[in-house]
Amino acid sequence: MKRTRYALAVLAAALLTTSAASAQSKSFSLGKWVELHNAILKELNRSYVDSLEVGRIEREGVDAMLGALDPYTVYVPEEEQEDFQMMLSNTYGGIGAVIYKPDVNGNVQINEPYAGSPAAKAGLVCGDEIEAINGETTHGLTSQQSSDKMRGKPGTQVVFRVKKLRDGATWKAGETIDVTVTRERIALPSVEYVGMLNESDGYILMTKFTEGVGQAVRDGYHTLKAQGMKRLVLDLRSNGGGVMSEAVNIVSLFVPKGSVVVTSKGKAKGSGQEYKTMTDPVDLEIPIVVLVDSGSASASEIVSGALQDLDRATIIGTRTYGKGLVQSIRPLPYDGQLKVTTAKYYTPSGRCVQAIDYSHRNEDGSVGHIPDSLTHEFKTLHGRTVRDGGGITPDFEVKGHKYSRLTYSIVLNGIVDQYAMKYVREHEALPSVEDFHFDAYDDFVAFAKDKEFDYRSSARALFDEMKKTLAEDGLTETMSGELAALEKSLDMDKETFLRLKKDEIVPFIEEEIAVRYWFQQAGIQVRLRYDDQLKEALTKPAISW
């Protein structure tokens, strides 16, 4: 007995010594690198041949250090706080309009005023041109510089010199007038659309998880229920997440009070926490469809994962992004902030949504293929099998439309935006959004074919890359005949390609035109007309609750 006690005492002492040594080793390592960093910086300041931009190299060093950890741990200096808060709250001080500046030496164009915004209330419309801001010409300013001058503290005023597109009560089209706009706190909605898809299916589109979005979803539910909703579609596609507590608030609308929604586990004391629903639900019976894709991340995965694990919703779409990390904000000297990853979160069944590592991802950053041998099985509330390994795998996989390279090119190069502006200038009024269908594609082709953009097909782009590789290998001459024949078969002029992809391009044109006459909600209504992924999702059976 004495020997046993002695052995246990020796083992305990050894463990304590090892633990103390490990802590001492980490402390020594940290002190060592702090000392080395300071010594290197002092030596550079003393002896480096050129002037030393300390602020720049220190910022790059901090960013590189944090970037070695994960993509979400970042340093936010004081001067970037407003943009950071904009990201968290989806609000800013300004006039509430999207602007477009096609020429740095030209005027700023109002591309899209938000509904009810200070810009809209002041009479600014799509197509108006701003020649000066507070007496300073916009010529020579970039789009970002112009935007910065429009933003400011709510309640302050900004004066625009505006060339008007249309006749008004006291001006004529083409006349230049001064317009004073009082800035407001612009809150971009995280719930962008609430409406009925048909007689029984209600639809809520969420694009972010900002403060108050849970209440907005609750309000949307009641609006749709009053309109006869029998099934709810919650669209989280391309929703990159946000505030975790709002994800809990949304799940709480549809599951019993006290249900576990998500659990966080971290290294620091107190980082592990179980988040349960704290309020009574609004509906425990209504069937729910949650739409997800590779852009659905973080809080979107908490909502879809919890509703899937609790067998409360049918998840439809494609595998989600796979961001199962919790970030916390820590204050730093000189009014800076550190957004640091402090924990991983787990769905009610115990799944970690975080991708296994950051190296196995697709081009868009979402989770790549994870073999089942590297994943684990978990059970939902009613015993269905679900797996971890990164992201939420939908109950039914329904892929979205894959657009051609040409369509991406004309959209990303602003060709559709530019044409929509032209269309607005030429058409003072249109019928209702429900009756609007774009039927002037020949006019669009004539407009677009004179613009500069890459109109190669994916096959042609790959062919051009192959030709470069063959040239580097010295094989161009030996294969000249085959290359010429293949190039001829892949060649297609710009107009032919635009006409070939008409069915893909028209929905984008309709949406952009609708937005400029009836604001963002109208654009979403148009988008829903062509949403084949949504239409297929509505044919899938509901998960039994």
pLDDT attached to residue 440: 96
Cα 356 to Cα 304, 319, 321, 428, distances in angstroms: 19, 14, 12, 54
Q: Are 319 and 366 in contact (CB under 8 A)?
A: yes
Catalytic residue among 298, 300, 304, 349: 298
298 is catalytic: yes
DSSP-derived letter for residue 272 is: -
Of 303, 301, 299, nearest to 319 by C-alpha is 301
Angle between helices 299-309 and 244-251 (to 10 degrees): 30
pLDDT attached to residue 369: 64
Enclosing H/E stretch for 40: helix 2-47
Residue 71 makes CB contacts below 8 A (sequence gap 6+) with 358
Other beta carbons less than 10 A from residue 348's beta carbon: 23
Would 91-187 and 191-399 be classified into the same CATH topology? no
- 273 beta partners: 264
From the options 3.30.470.30, 2.30.42.10, 3.40.50.2020, 3.40.50.720, give the CATH code of 91-187: 2.30.42.10
DSSP-derived letter for residue 367 is: B
Of 446, 400, 415, nearest to 509 by C-alpha is 415
pLDDT attached to residue 429: 87
- 51 CB-contact burial (10 Å; exposed 0-12 / middle 13-18 / buried 19+): exposed
164 is catalytic: no
309 is catalytic: yes
* The model's pTM: 0.85
Angle between helices 441-448 and 415-426 (to 10 degrees): 130
CATH of domain 191-399: 3.90.226.10
Whole-angstrom distance, CA of residue 261 vs CA of residue 254? 11
The CB-based long-range contact list for 169-177 (8 Å cut-off, 24+ gap) reads 176/131
Cα 113 to Cα 155, 365, 405, distances in angstroms: 18, 32, 30
Q: Give residue 538's identity as a one-letter amino acid code.
A: L
pLDDT attached to residue 365: 59
Domain boundaries, the chain: 27-68, 91-187, 191-399, 405-457+492-535
SS3 351: coil
pLDDT attached to residue 5: 58
Residue 394 makes CB contacts below 8 A (sequence gap 6+) with 292, 315, 316, 317, 318, 319
Catalytic residue among 201, 235, 309, 531: 309
Residue 285 makes CB contacts below 8 A (sequence gap 6+) with 545
pLDDT attached to residue 227: 98
SS3 517: helix
- Full DSSP string of 134-194: TTEE-TT--HHHHHHHH---TT-EEEEEEE-SS--SS--TT-EEEEEEE-EEEE--SEEEE
Of 269, 391, 406, 230, nearest to 320 by C-alpha is 391
Whole-angstrom distance, CA of residue 387 vs CA of residue 302? 15
Residue 160 makes CB contacts below 8 A (sequence gap 6+) with 124, 130, 132, 133, 178, 179, 180, 181
pLDDT attached to residue 467: 79
Catalytic residue among 323, 339, 388, 395: 323
Whole-angstrom distance, CA of residue 150 vs CA of residue 102? 18
DSSP-derived letter for residue 354 is: S
312-348 per-position pLDDT tens digit: 999 999 999 999 888 888 999 988 899 998 889 999 9
pLDDT attached to residue 249: 97
Whole-angstrom distance, CA of residue 284 vs CA of residue 256? 7
388-397 per-position pLDDT tens digit: 888 999 999 9
Q: Are 374 and 112 in contact (CB under 8 A)?
A: no
Q: List the chain residues with pLDDT less than 70.
A: 1-26, 85-88, 270-271, 356-373, 544-545
Of 280, 324, 296, nearest to 236 by C-alpha is 296
